[in-house]
Structure 1
C-alpha cells in the first residue's frame, strides 16, 4: 500500500449522494438510462445497486487496523515510554503495532516474516498523531535521569537566583550560555556555590 494513495482511474467519480438521488429517481418512475445520465453514474453501476442495495461502494486503501480507541491507547503508551526516558525507535513502534494486532486477533496486512507493521502504516499513523515525534535516542545515564526532577531543578534555580541577587555581581560579570550549558547533575550545584563564594571573597 503506497504512503500517499493516488487514484489511477476515474472509477467511482460520483458521490454517494448522487447515487442515492439516482436510485430515488428510478423508484419514482424515471428510466434507468435517464437517471444514470442525469446524475453522472454508469448505468451498470446503478443497476447493480438497485438489485443489490448492500453492495460496497468503497474504493482506495484498506481500512485502518486499529480503531480510534486502540490507536489512542498505543499513542498514550508511547508517550508514557518517553516520560520514563525509554528511547524507542520507529522500528520498535512497527514491532509494537504488529504485536498489538496479533495479540488482539485483529486482521492486518503487516509482514508476518519480519513481524513488523509496514513503513506506510507508520507514516500514516504519525500523520494522524502529530504529537508523536521520533528521533534517534541518545544514551542517558541513570544518574542524569534521576537528577532531572522538579525538586532538584527548583533547588538549582533557587541557588542561581540567590547568586544573581548579590550586589557584587554586576552585569558585565554575567556570562551568556545556551541550553547545552545547563547541567542536570549535582556538579552544577557546586558550580553555583563556588560562584557565590568567589563573589563574597572578591
Structure 2
C-alpha cells in the first residue's frame, strides 16, 4: 500500500455542492444536461449519472450538499472521525498525566477500540491483535499534533518530576472526597516474579571467582494490600499456555490464577485479576474501591477499563520512579521470606527440585510473615497515601536519592536494615525486561523488619 499518494489528474474533483447545483439546473430549471455540464465544468455523462443518483427531495429542497458521495471515495478508514478524535484525546491526556504511550501500545489500543465497536478491520489486525504499521503512519499524518519522541533515560535523579507527584496526590484527594473511601477501600497492587531457582545469601569466596545463577521458570504473583492492613489473596500467572486449577494446590485460600508463556501478566490476565479483585473486595458501583496500580502495558485494555467501570473499581496509576518504600517494607521482606521458605523446602526434600507447582505453597508460607498489618499501615503512612499527606517528604526524597526522610520513626530504621537491596532491584529489572515498560513503572513506600 502506498502511504503517500499524489493525484495525477483532476478527474472526479467536482465539489459536492457544485454537483448538486448542476443537477438542480437540469431537474428544476429544465436546463439541458450538456448546457449545465459546460456551465459548471463537469463531464456531461457524469452529470447525467448524478441526475439519477441524487434523491429528488434534495434537488427540490434547500440542501447545500447531497447525501450521496461525489467523486472518488478515499481509502477506507477503520474509524470514523469522531472515534479517531476520541483516541487522539485519550493519547494526549495520557501524555499529560505522566502516562505517555509507545506506538505499539497505541496500535493495540486501536485494535481493541475497533473490536469493541464491531468495526471491520483488515485481516492483519486480527492476526496480530494490533493495528498495522501503515495505519499508525497514516494516523500520525492525519494528526500532526502527535509526534514520536524519545523519552529521557530512566534515571530517578533526572526523570523524576515533582509536578507528577503533586498531580498524583491531588487525584487521590479528589477521588477520596468524591467516593468517601475508607482505609479498607484503598488498595495497592504489585506484581512480582518468583523463580524456581534459589537465591542464596551472600557468601565469602575467592576474589574474582564468578558463578552463574540458574534463573529457572518464572511465576508472577500479583498481591494487593489495603490501607486498613488487609492483604488480598494473590493472583498467580504460570508460564503455561492453558491454566489448570491444580496449579493452585497449596496456595492461600481464595487465590486465583492464569497462564501466559512469559509468566507475566498480559491484557487477558489483567481482566481475570480485576474479576478476582472484585470477588475479594466485594466492590460494586454503590461501594467502589480505589485500586492504585503499577503502570505498564498489561493494564491498558478496553475490556479491562470497561469491566472496572462497570464494577466500581476506581483505578489510578502511580507516577514513574516513585516507589522505594513499599518495596522495602512489604515486598522486599516478602522476597526474603520466599527465599527462606525455599531453603526450608530444600532441607526437607533432599534430592528433589522445586517446580512451578511448589511456588503457591511457598507463597502461602511467606506472605503472612512479610505482609503484616503493622508493615502495611506503616507503608501507606510513610508514602503519604493514607492518611493523605502530600507534604510527606518520603515519596519525593526517596525517589531521588533513596534515603530515609529526616525525623522518621523506627520504621525508617527498618528500611535501612534491608539487605540485598541493590541485588534484588537488579534482578527484578532483569526479570521484567522485555515485558514491562519503564514509562509505566512505579514504586511504593513503607517500613518493616526484614525476614530473618
Which of these residues, 97, 103, 111, is aligned with residue 98 of structure 1?
111
- Mapped pair 1:127 → 2:149: no
Residues 97 and 164 in structure 2, CA contact (< 8 A), matched pair in contact too: no
Most deviating of 40-49 and 103-112: 103-112
Asked if 1:19 corresponds to 2:19, the answer is yes
More helix by share: 1
1:10 alignment counterpart: 10
Whole-angstrom distance in 2 between the partners of 1:138 and 1:110? 36
* CA–CA distance in structure 1, aligned partners of residues 119 and 82 of structure 2: 14
Structure 2 Cα separation of the partners of residues 13 and 129 of structure 1:
24
Secondary structure of 1:185 counterpart: helix
C-alpha distance in structure 2 between counterparts of 1:46 and 1:92, whole Å: 47
1:93-134 Cα distance to aligned partner (Å, 9 max, x none): 222211211122122346232233233322232234334332
For residues 88 and 94 of structure 2, the distance between their equivalents in structure 1, rounded to whole angstroms, comes to 10
Cα distance change, pair 103–150 in 1 and its aligned pair in 2 (3 A) = closer
Q: Distance in 1 between matches of 2:103 and 2:2?
A: 18
**CA offset digits 1:130-154 (Å, max 9, x no partner):** 343323456636x66995324989x
Structural RMSD (CA)? 3.7
C-alpha distance 69-145 of structure 1, shift in aligned 2 (>3 A): farther
Pairwise mapping of residues 108-127 of structure 1 onto structure 2 (< 5 A)?
108-109=121-122, 111=124, 112-127=126-141
SS of residue matched to 2:26: helix
In the comparison of the two structures, how many residue pairs are matched? 158
Q: How high is the TM-score relative to the length of structure 1?
A: 0.59
CA contact (8 A) 2:25 2:36 kept: yes
Task: Work out which of the residue numbers 150, 154, 157 in structure 2 matches 1:140.
Answer: 154
Q: Equivalents in 2 of 1:10, 1:45: separation in Å?
A: 14
Task: Report if aligned partners of 1:147, 1:186 keep a CA contact under 8 Å in 2.
Answer: no
- Structure 1 CA distance, aligned partners of 2:73 and 2:8? 10
Quick one: distance in 2 between partners of 1:40 and 1:123? Answer: 36
2: CA distance between counterparts of 1:132 and 1:13?
30
Deviations 1:62-96 (A, max 9, x none): 35433344334323433454456556432332222
Q: Secondary structure at the match of 2:6?
A: coil
Give the Cα–Cα distance (whole angstroms) in 2 for the partners of residues 84 and 18 of structure 1. 46
Residue pair 2:3, 2:138 contacting (<8 A) in 1 also: yes
Deviations 1:11-39 (A, max 9, x none): 21322233223222222122212222222
Which protein has the larger Cα radius of gyration, Structure 1 or Structure 2?
Answer: 1
TM-score (normalizing by structure 2): 0.30
Contact kept? 1:3, 1:124, Cα under 8 Å: yes
CA contact (8 A) 2:23 2:47 kept: yes
2:48 maps to: 47
Q: Distance in 2 between matches of 1:146 and 1:7?
A: 46
CA distance in 2 between partners of 1:31 and 1:84 (Å): 62
- Partners of 1:152 and 1:109 in 2: CA distance: 41
